[in-house]
Each structure stands twice: as structure tokens, then as C-alpha cells.
Amino acid sequence: MDQEGNKRKNIKEVKVGALCQLCHCRKAVMKRPKNLQKLCKECFFYIFETEIHLTIQKENLFYKGETIAIGASGGKDSTVLASIMKTLNERYNYGLNLVLLSVDEGIVGYRDDSLATVKRNQLQYNMPLEIVSYKDLYNWTMDEIVSCTNVKSSCTYCGVLRRQALDRGALKLDIHHVVTGHNADDMAETVLMNLLRGDTARIENSVNVTTNSTGSPVKRSKPFKYTYQKEIVLYAHYKKLDYFSTECTYAPEAFRGTARVLLKNLESVRPSCIIDIIHSGEHFKLKSRKERIVKNKKLQKTTKNPESQNEMEIRPDGSVSISASKDGNRCERCGYLSMNKICKACILLEGLEANRPKLTIDGITSNTDGAAKLSKTLEKLSF
């Protein structure tokens, strides 16, 4: 003991209680939030990877030879996702072609840095990378959008636009399946958020591992549905994965933040609550669609102007009133799948166009980063 005590700490004698509960031979380094099991690094890697493999198998997420786009932001979730997909694809012979797909929202000091991470991942994992930008798709960068609206609604715009951007990017590559790094914490957060907002219609679908709206050419899956954020961070840390971890410049004021704080506080009291909330969400069943539509029609009669509500009511998350609409409609303007005549993105963009800064500055083209913000600020100046 004397001799060992002089050596580095982690070689010193380990109590039986501190051993890994699976292999019983190495020192445990982490405690699984799901079941409080203490595991060593090696067993943790094994369990973590195997659980995701089992989710993929159980849900039949992929077929052999399928080309999959990995929605990659450079953050921890998508970096671990890319690494895991590569590992599992090789280990279990999925036979998948993996491609990284990134969206450049145009947020200076955030996305440009995180895209650099994605570019490194491209080399590390030896996968092709495709980047689609808001600027190319919509002629707006997020910086410009925020300068024309306010920071609070930035996530609404960004979320709606990103969803389309990922689909369009995938279609450009002729890929019909996108996997994203949404984890169990995100899922639970969404359930909580929809509950707090009273948006019951969304709870049911928000917990699905795969979302495939009728008529949508691109399927989306979340292999990390049951994977805790804490374990993802630990996995990235122990595997020394290269990820980018700066909070988005506009994020702290978003509503999701509130639900996240609530969830983290709940988790610290009872770690299993995240899985429990997902479980509750999965068992949340609304009455059949027919009954709801009848109820909606009654509601509509009491509304003065149902037509305008149909098209224009936008909820804080960017969702649009779904009353009396059918799945599989197309947006009249851009042809994107939409519940209504005009899709959310087009409605949002229309509002933005009306708000474009009226002032232009000589020598600054609209391509310059932050130009809209600058001109908007100058507009308000008075001497």
C-alpha cells in the first residue's frame, strides 16, 4: 500500500464497491442515470453502443444498402452520432452509405466555427460532407433575420427553416433518410414543452423514433431517442471526440431553455425521470382524428374569421393551425410539403421581406456578414 500510495492515484487499491458492476474487475468511472449502474469505461462503451444498436434493430431503422444523411452540426450529439453510426455500420454490417449533411444558418461566431468542426469530422470519419446554407436557400442569413425581428423569435425562424433546409439538402443528394442526434433529454424536453404549451396534438408524434409525414420524400430518425445527454457527453469525453460546444448566440432566450432547466432540476432529483417522461409521452393517446375534426369544426364556427386563422395563425414554435387540413398538401409557392396552402417557411419569409432594412450602405453588399443588422441599427440612429 505504501508503495502504491506513492504512485498515481488511479492505481491505488480499489474497494470492491467501487468496481464496475458488469465486469467486476475494473474501477467504475461513471454511474448510468438510467438505472444507477456503476460501470468502467470499457463496459460503458460496450453498453452505450449496444443499446443504440438494439434501438436501431428493434425499430428497423435502416435497410441494407440505404444511403443515410447524418444531420451534423459539429455539436456533441451529432459528432457522437457520426462516430457511433460509423462504428455500428462496420461492426454489425449494416451496409449503409453514410453522408454528413450540415446546414449553415449564417450565424457569425457560432455556425462558422462549428462548421469547421464538421469539416474535421469529415476527414476523421472519412465521410462525404454536404453543406446547405440559408443564404442560398432563402436569401437570408440568421444574423439578418434576427436583426429584422427580435432575438426571442429567432429559434422559431431557425427551426422552421432548418427543417426544410435539411430535407432539401438530402434531396439534392438523392437521399431519403436523415438521422439526427436528438437524444432522450431532447425528447423529454419536447414532451414537457408541448405539455406546458397545451399542444397535446404534438405530444404523440414528438416521441416517435421515426417521423415520416405522408407525402414527405425524406424520412427522419433519431437513433439516440433513449440515450441520455450525460452519457453522450461522457462518451465524447472518454473517446476524446472532436466536438464544438459553444451555445448558439441567440439560444439563451428561447423557450426551450426554460423546459431544459426544469428537466435538469428534475433529473438531479431522480435521474430516471427523463426516460419516464418519454415513456409517458409514448403512452399519450389522443382521441381518434375523426372526433377531433368534428370538435375543430365546432370551434371554427365560433371563430369570426376561420379563413385567416387557417392560413396565418402561427404558434410560438412556428407550427401552424392544423384545423381542417389534410396531410400531403404542397405549398403553393415553394412546393414543399405543407399542411396549409402556404408553408410555414414561406409565411415567415414573407413577413421578413416586408421588414428588410430600408437603408442600404454604399460599399456593403448584402452578402457581408451582419450587414442587415448594421443597417437596421443605423436606421434607428438620430443625431
Partner 1 sequence: MVVVKVEFLGGLDQTFGGIKNTKCILDQQQLQNDITIANLIDYLASNLITNEKDLEMFIQDGTIRPGILVLINDTDWELEDKEDYILEDGDLVSFTSTLHGG
Binding residues for ATP: 71-73, 77, 103, 181, 186
Residues 173-192: x where in contact with partner 1 by CB under 8 A, - otherwise, as a string: --------xxx--x------
Residue 29 found at the interface with partner 1 (CB under 8 A): yes
Q: How far is the CB of 122 from partner 1 (least distance, A)?
A: 19
Closer residue to partner 1 (CB): 62 or 244: 244
Q: How far is the CB of 202 from partner 1 (least distance, A)?
A: 20
Q: Which stretch binds partner 1 (CB under 8 A): 76-84, 160-168, 347-355, 365-373?
A: 76-84
Run of H or E residues at 68: strand 67-71
Residue 10 found at the interface with partner 1 (CB under 8 A): yes
Q: How far is the CB of 76 from partner 1 (least distance, A)?
A: 6
Out of 150, 265, 303, 360, the only residue in the binding site for partner 1 (CB under 8 A) is 265
Q: CA 84 to CA 87: how far, in whole Å?
A: 5
Give per-residue burial for 303-342: e unless 16+ CB within 10 Å, then b.
eeebeeebeeebeebbbbbbbebeeeeebeebebbbbbeb
Residue 251 found at the interface with partner 1 (CB under 8 A): yes
DSSP alpha helix (H) spans, the chain: 2-6, 41-58, 76-91, 111-125, 134-138, 142-148, 154-172, 184-197, 200-206, 229-238, 255-269, 273-282, 289-302, 306-312, 344-353, 371-380
Find the binding residues for partner 1 in span 113-132 (CB under 8 A): 114
Out of 50, 268, 308, 360, the only residue in the binding site for partner 1 (CB under 8 A) is 268
Out of 7, 9, 58, 358, the only residue in the binding site for partner 1 (CB under 8 A) is 9
State the CB neighbour count (10 A cutoff) for residue 223. Answer: 27
Q: How close are the terminal C-alpha atoms of the chain, in Å?
A: 77
Q: Which stretch binds partner 1 (CB under 8 A): 98-106, 154-162, 226-234, 305-313?
A: 226-234
The answer to whether 362 touches 380, Cβ cutoff 8 Å, is no
Residue 105 found at the interface with partner 1 (CB under 8 A): no
Q: CA 249 to CA 261: how far, in whole Å?
A: 18
State the CB neighbour count (10 A cutoff) for residue 239. Answer: 16
Helix and strand numbers (H, E) in the chain are 16, 8
Q: CA–CA distance from 281 to each of 205, 220, 285, 321 (Å)?
A: 9, 19, 8, 22
Closer residue to partner 1 (CB): 264 or 330: 264
Q: Which stretch binds partner 1 (CB under 8 A): 119-127, 208-216, 241-249, 373-381?
A: 241-249
Closer residue to partner 1 (CB): 96 or 232: 232
Residue 276 found at the interface with partner 1 (CB under 8 A): no
Q: CA–CA distance from 351 to each of 34, 253, 332, 348 (Å)?
A: 44, 21, 16, 5
- Between β-strands 38-39 and 30-31, what pairing exists: parallel, antiparallel or unpaired? antiparallel
Residue 78 found at the interface with partner 1 (CB under 8 A): yes
Q: How far is the CB of 27 from partner 1 (least distance, A)?
A: 7
Out of 105, 143, 167, 267, the only residue in the binding site for partner 1 (CB under 8 A) is 267
Q: Return residues touching partner 1 (CB under 8 A).
A: 8-10, 18, 27-31, 38, 41, 73, 75-78, 114, 181-183, 186, 229-230, 232-234, 237-238, 244-248, 251, 260, 264-265, 267-268
